[in-house]
């Protein structure tokens, strides 16, 4: 942290966030930091990650705090491993060339997620390089960001160029993602409301299997598991062998292409986890999506809320919201009352609407 980061933060107009809300994990902290940066509102997060087996700040969460401080010249208190309370007061978000290291296999995507929307409203183009895990469980992998999330961000009027520099699997990490973020004020057109109520015409699906320092027959067994569960013959398979990765690892990404949206279902290899199980898990997630009428999958729905809140709003239909999404909605509505609304259409189809907040 910089020398000014631990200065006390005045209590006046500080928004208090209870880290126990909803699923009680790191998303509460990350979304709160993003919202603080976008609104200029100081905050105090209490009971950080209280519902996790190891509560408090871990390395990847501290990397998010460092990133928020650096892009805004902000101040923070409670910035140490294991801390259960954090105070943060942002300054104006500044464009720049930034480099953040998680210091573990913690997700690079989650650090990027913290600063992405605020930097869309900075005073110039920014480059953000984040080092850490790029393909690990419980976080959006690069394939999802590139193929599912970024096209919809572009549809809303945001321009972000994403690059996978090096793959980082758990537990070694060592990967890197770079994002070039253009401010929306430099765009040729104003931000557009997102309306995603139908999938559109079904296209050609494919499966990407990534592996590093593992035998090729693992990819074969994962592909057979996907093919057998989804009854696929003509689907395209693509394999990548990442010999430059810092450690061994493996992931399966099933990309489902439709006219209006692309969904990516992922699963990750782990020690003592057989290849058939890895392939089958990704296929189960893909099957749930394919057997519904929802255009937006569970994980994509969660990712869309913050950019919609500050670009131009809109609405989309999705599968039954996860607890993670509901928690994210509650955090956003704490900063921006009434911004996100959920409506159940039937058991597996919900409509989410968002009223954008001007920055």
- Note the pLDDT tens digit of each residue in 297-345: 999 999 999 999 999 999 999 999 999 999 999 999 999 999 999 999 9
To the question of domain 9-92 being in CATH 3.30.420, the answer is no
Average pLDDT over residues 75-98: 97
**Is 47 a catalytic site residue?**
no
Q: Where are the domains of the chain?
A: 9-92, 93-187, 206-290
Candidates 354, 341, 263, 262; CA nearest to 311 is 354
Do the beta carbons of residue 175 and residue 245 sit within 8 Å? Answer: yes
> So what's the pLDDT on residue 358?
73
- At the topology level, CATH places domain 93-187 in UDP-n-acetylglucosamine1-carboxyvinyl-transferase; Chain (3.65.10)
Q: At 4, is the pLDDT very low, low, confident or very high (cuts 50, 70, 90)?
A: very low
Average pLDDT over residues 37-51: 96
Q: What is the pTM of this model?
A: 0.94
Is the omega angle on the peptide bond into residue 15 within 30 degrees of 0, that is, cis?
no
3-class secondary-structure state, position 189: coil
Task: Name the catalytic one among 47, 206, 213, 324.
Answer: 324
Looking at the predicted structure, is the pLDDT value of residue 10 above 70?
Answer: no
Query: Which residues does residue 296 pair with via DSSP β-bridges, in sequence order?
Result: 318
- Domain 206-290 belongs to what architecture? 2-Layer Sandwich (3.30)
> So what's the pLDDT on residue 34?
98
């Amino acid at each position: 942290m910089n020398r000014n980061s631990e200065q006390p933060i005045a209590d006046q107009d500080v928004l208090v966030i209870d880290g126990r809300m909803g699923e009680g994990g790191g998303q509460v902290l990350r979304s709160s930091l993003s919202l603080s940066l976008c609104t200029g509102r100081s905050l105090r997060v209490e009971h950080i990650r209280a519902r996790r087996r190891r509560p408090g700040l871990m390395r990847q969460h501290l990397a998010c705090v460092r990133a928020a401080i650096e892009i805004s010249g902000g101040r923070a208190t409670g910035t140490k491993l294991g801390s259960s309370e954090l105070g943060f007061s942002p300054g104006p978000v500044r464009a720049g060339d930034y480099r953040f290291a998680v210091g573990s296999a913690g997700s690079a995507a989650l650090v990027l997620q913290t600063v992405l929307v605020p930097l869309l409203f900075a005073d110039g183009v920014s480059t953000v390089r984040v080092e850490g895990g790029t393909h690990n469980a419980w976080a959006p992998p690069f394939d999802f960001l590139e193929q599912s999330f970024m096209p919809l961000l572009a549809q809303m009027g945001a321009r972000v160029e994403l690059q996978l520099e090096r793959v980082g699997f758990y537990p070694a990490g060592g990967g890197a993602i770079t994002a070039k973020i253009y401010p929306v004020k430099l765009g040729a057109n104003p931000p557009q409301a997102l309306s995603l109520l139908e999938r559109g015409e079904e296209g050609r699906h494919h499966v990407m299997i990534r592996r590093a320092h593992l035998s090729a027959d693992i990819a074969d067994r994962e592909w057979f598991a996907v093919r057998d569960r989804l009854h696929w013959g003509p689907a395209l398979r693509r394999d990548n062998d990442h010999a430059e990765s810092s450690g061994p690892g493996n992931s399966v990404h099933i990309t489902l292409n439709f006219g209006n949206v692309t969904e990516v279902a992922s699963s990750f290899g782990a020690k003592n986890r057989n290849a058939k199980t890895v392939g089958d898990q990704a296929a189960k997630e893909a099957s749930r999506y394919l057997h519904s009428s929802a255009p937006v999958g569970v994980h994509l729905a969660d990712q869309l809320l913050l950019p919609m809140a500050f670009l131009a709003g809109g609405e989309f239909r999705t599968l039954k919201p996860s607890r993670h999404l509901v928690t994210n909605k509650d955090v956003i509505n704490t900063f921006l009352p009434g911004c996100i609304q959920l409506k159940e259409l039937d058991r597996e189809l919900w409509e989410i609407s968002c009223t954008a907040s001007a920055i």
